[in-house]
C-alpha cells in the first residue's frame, strides 16, 4: 500500500531529522577473558586498524588494508567467543563434578553462575532436542513458538464435526458483515487515540516507537488518518502491520534452558495500535485484565467461601484449573464466532479477522532477530486486543458454570467460580457438584482445542479424603 510506505518513509525521515548530530561515546566493554590467542589476534587487529586510519579510513571492498582490517577484527571476536565458551564449559564441568562430592561448593557455584550470566543461557531444550550456541538457541526459540502458533492435527480430529460447523458459520458471518460499513475516523478521534497510547514502550519490528508518532506532527497525522480510513473501507489490515516482534520472557519457574518455561510477548507495529478497542460483556467472575479489578478480587470469593465453611464447620472443595499455553492455542475461527455473537457485526469484525489472517512473528533474542514464521492460531500476548479477545473466548465456560447453579453459595449468592484470565477456581461443598463442574470445564477445553495442564491443576479439601477424590476427579482428564 503506497500510503503505508509513505508513512514509514516519513517516520524514518522524522527520526533522522530529530536525532542528535553529536557523536555518542560508547564505552567498549572490557574483556573478561584472556589468552595468548586473543593477545595475538588483538595485536594483528590494532596493526591493520592503524594502517587503515593512516590511509584515510577508506571503505573500499577492493582495498587490501580494509580487507585485512575486517578479517583481523572478525578473528579477534572469534577468539574471544572461543575463550568465553571454554570458560562456560569449565564452569559447567566443575558444577557437575561437585554435585556429588561437595554439596556446599556445588550450591555456591550454581548461585555464582546464575548471578554472573544473568539471562544468558548456553543451550535450550525444545522438546527432546537440545540446541547449543547463540544462533541455535534463537532458532530453537523460534521453533518452539512456531509450534505453538501452528494447530495440532489432533485438535481438529477430536471435534471435527463441531469445528466444521464453526467454519460453516464463519462463512455465513463473513457474507453478512461485508456490506456493513463503518463511519470513517475523524482527525479528532485519531489525535485522541494517539495521546492515549503509553510512551516508553519497546520499538516494533521496524524500529518505530510511539514517540515517533507523537512528535512527527500534522503531516503524519493526515497520512495515518488516510491509511486508517482505507482499512475501515476495505475491512483489511496490510500484512506488514501484522508482523510482530516476539521476545521470550522467562516465567521465573523451572529451568531457564527449557523452552516451555518462556512466555512469548509480542510487540506489534506501532501503527497497529491506532484503532478502537472493543467493548464486550464478560462474566462477573472474570477478574483478570479488567479495569478496576485484579487477582486480589479473584481471590476474595475463595477467601469468603473458606471463611464461611470454617465458621459453619463444613467441608468444602476448591479445584484450581490452568489451561496449557492458553493464549497461544486459541482457534481463530472459534474466536471470530464469539466476536460476532458478542455484537461485533459490521466491518470491525472483518478488520479483526484480517488482523489474525496471514499474521507473522519473528523472535528477538540477545539483540538478534530470527526469520518470520506464520501465526496460525492464538492471540498474541502484548497486542492491544489480546486480553479482551481471550476473555471473550473463555466467557462461555464461565457462563455455563454460572447457569449450572452447582457449587458453593454464600447465603443466596452463587459463588462456584472465580477466574483471573486463564486461571479458574471451582468451588463446591458437594463432591458430585464438583465432578460435574470439572467435566464441564474439560468438555469445553476439548471443544475449543486446548488442554488443562495436569501439572498446574490442584485440589484443596478440608478433610483427609483429598487423595481419594483427586484420583476420581482427574481420571477422565488425563
If asked whether residues 361 and 383 sit together in one domain, one would say no
Whether residue 18 lies inside any domain: the answer is no
If asked whether residues 65 and 161 sit together in one domain, one would say no
Instruction: Examine the fold and report which residue of 97, 113, 129 is the final residue of a domain before the chain moves on.
Output: 113
Instruction: Examine the fold and report which residue of 113, 130, 153 is the final residue of a domain before the chain moves on.
Output: 113
Helices marked H in 235-380 — which ranges? 295-311, 332-341, 347-355
Q: Which residue, chain included where needed, has cell 482457534?
A: 331
Rounded Cα distance between 111 and 99, Å, is 13
Domains: count for the chain: 3
Look at residue 215 and give its three-state secondary structure: coil
144 has a pLDDT exceeding 70: yes
Instruction: Examine the fold and report which residue of 62, 81, 113 is the final residue of a domain before the chain moves on.
Output: 113
If asked whether residues 185 and 199 sit together in one domain, one would say yes
What pLDDT does residue 59 have?
A: 86
If asked whether residues 49 and 185 sit together in one domain, one would say no
Rounded Cα distance between 229 and 192, Å, is 16
If asked whether residues 353 and 396 sit together in one domain, one would say no
Whether residue 259 lies inside any domain: the answer is yes
**pLDDT mean across residues, the chain:** 81
If asked whether residues 288 and 337 sit together in one domain, one would say no
417 has a pLDDT exceeding 90: yes
The count of residues in the chain is 478
Whether residue 17 lies inside any domain: the answer is no
If asked whether residues 183 and 318 sit together in one domain, one would say no
Per-residue cell: 268: 506489534
Do 125 and 137 form a contact (C-beta atoms < 8 A)? no
Whether residue 211 lies inside any domain: the answer is yes
Own/partner long-range contacts of 302-308 (Cβ < 8 Å, ≥24 apart): 302/418, 302/425, 302/427, 304/410, 304/415, 305/408, 305/410, 305/415, 305/427, 308/410
pLDDT single digits (tens) 2-61: 676 777 677 777 666 666 566 655 555 567 788 888 889 999 999 999 999 999 888 888
Whether residue 467 lies inside any domain: the answer is yes
What pLDDT does residue 121 have?
A: 74
Q: Give the residue among 437, 337, 328, 438 at the shortest CA–CA distance from 393.
A: 337
If asked whether residues 288 and 437 sit together in one domain, one would say yes
142 has a pLDDT exceeding 50: yes
What pLDDT does residue 446 have?
A: 84
If asked whether residues 86 and 131 sit together in one domain, one would say no
Whether residue 10 lies inside any domain: the answer is no
Structural domain range at position 159: 121-265+332-366
If asked whether residues 181 and 144 sit together in one domain, one would say yes
Q: Give the residue among 295, 323, 305, 317 at the shortest CA–CA distance from 419.
A: 295
Rounded Cα distance between 119 and 196, Å, is 33
* CATH number of the domain where residue 460 is located: 3.30.70
If asked whether residues 199 and 130 sit together in one domain, one would say yes
What pLDDT does residue 30 have?
A: 66
Report percent pLDDT > 90 for the chain.
27
Report percent pLDDT > 70 for the chain.
81
SS (H, E, C) 52-82: HHHCCCCCCCCCHHHHHHHHHHHHHHHHHHH
Whether residue 461 lies inside any domain: the answer is yes
If asked whether residues 279 and 344 sit together in one domain, one would say no
Amino acid at each position: 500500500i503506497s500510503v503505508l510506505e509513505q508513512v514509514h518513509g516519513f517516520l524514518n525521515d522524522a527520526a533522522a531529522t530529530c536525532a542528535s548530530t553529536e557523536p555518542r561515546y560508547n564505552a567498549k566493554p572490557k574483556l573478561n577473558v584472556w589468552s595468548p590467542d586473543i593477545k595475538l589476534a588483538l595485536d594483528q587487529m590494532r596493526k591493520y586498524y592503524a594502517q587503515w586510519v593512516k590511509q584515510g579510513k577508506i571503505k573500499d571492498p577492493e582495498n587490501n588494508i580494509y580487507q585485512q582490517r575486517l578479517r583481523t577484527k572478525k578473528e579477534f571476536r572469534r577468539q574471544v567467543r572461543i575463550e568465553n565458551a571454554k570458560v562456560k564449559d569449565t564452569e559447567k564441568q566443575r558444577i557437575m563434578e561437585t554435585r556429588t562430592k561437595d554439596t556446599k561448593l556445588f550450591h555456591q557455584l550454581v548461585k555464582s553462575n546464575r548471578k554472573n550470566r544473568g539471562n544468558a543461557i548456553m543451550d535450550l531444550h525444545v522438546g527432546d532436542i537440545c540446541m547449543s550456541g547463540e544462533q541455535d538457541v534463537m532458532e530453537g526459540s523460534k521453533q518452539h513458538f512456531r509450534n505453538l502458533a501452528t494447530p495440532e492435527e489432533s485438535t481438529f480430529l477430536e471435534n471435527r464435526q463441531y469445528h466444521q460447523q464453526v467454519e460453516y458459520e464463519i462463512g455465513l458471518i463473513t457474507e453478512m458483515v461485508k456490506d456493513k460499513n463503518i463511519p470513517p475516523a475523524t482527525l479528532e478521534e485519531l489525535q485522541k487515540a494517539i495521546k492515549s497510547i503509553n510512551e516508553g514502550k519497546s520499538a516494533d519490528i521496524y524500529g518505530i516507537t510511539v514517540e515517533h508518532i507523537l512528535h512527527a506532527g500534522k503531516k503524519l497525522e493526515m497520512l495515518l488518518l488516510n491509511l486508517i480510513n482505507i482499512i475501515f473501507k476495505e475491512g483489511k489490515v496490510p500484512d506488514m502491520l501484522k508482523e510482530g516482534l516476539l521476545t521470550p520472557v522467562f516465567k521465573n519457574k523451572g529451568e531457564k534452558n527449557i523452552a516451555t518455561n518462556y512466555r512469548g510477548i509480542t510487540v506489534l507495529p506501532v501503527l497497529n495500535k491506532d484503532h478502537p478497542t472493543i467493548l464486550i460483556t464478560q462474566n462477573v467472575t472474570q477478574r483478570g485484565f479488567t479495569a478496576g479489578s485484579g487477582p486480589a478480587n479473584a481471590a476474595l470469593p475463595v477467601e469468603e467461601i473458606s471463611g464461611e465453611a470454617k465458621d459453619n464447620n463444613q467441608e468444602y472443595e476448591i479445584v484450581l484449573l490452568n489451561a496449557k499455553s492458553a493464549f497461544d492455542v486459541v482457534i481463530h475461527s472459534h474466536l471470530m464466532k464469539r466476536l460476532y455473537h458478542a455484537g461485533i457485526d459490521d466491518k470491525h469484525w472483518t478488520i479483526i479477522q484480517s488482523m489474525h489472517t496471514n499474521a507473522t512473528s519473528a523472535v528477538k533474542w540477545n539483540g538478534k532477530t530470527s526469520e518470520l514464521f506464520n501465526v496460525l492460531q492464538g492471540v498474541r500476548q502484548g497486542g492491544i486486543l489480546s486480553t479482551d479477545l481471550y476473555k471473550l473466548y473463555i466467557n462461555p465456560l464461565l457462563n455455563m458454570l454460572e447457569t449450572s447453579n452447582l457449587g458453593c453459595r454464600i447465603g443466596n449468592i452463587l459463588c462456584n467460580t472465580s477466574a483471573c484470565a486463564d486461571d479458574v477456581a471451582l468451588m463446591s461443598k458437594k463432591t458430585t457438584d464438583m465432578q460435574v463442574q470439572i467435566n464441564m470445564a474439560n468438555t469445553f477445553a476439548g471443544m475449543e482445542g486446548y488442554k488443562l495442564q495436569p501439572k498446574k491443576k490442584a485440589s484443596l479439601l478440608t478433610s483427609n479424603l483429598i487423595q481419594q477424590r483427586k484420583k476420581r476427579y482427574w481420571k477422565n482428564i488425563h
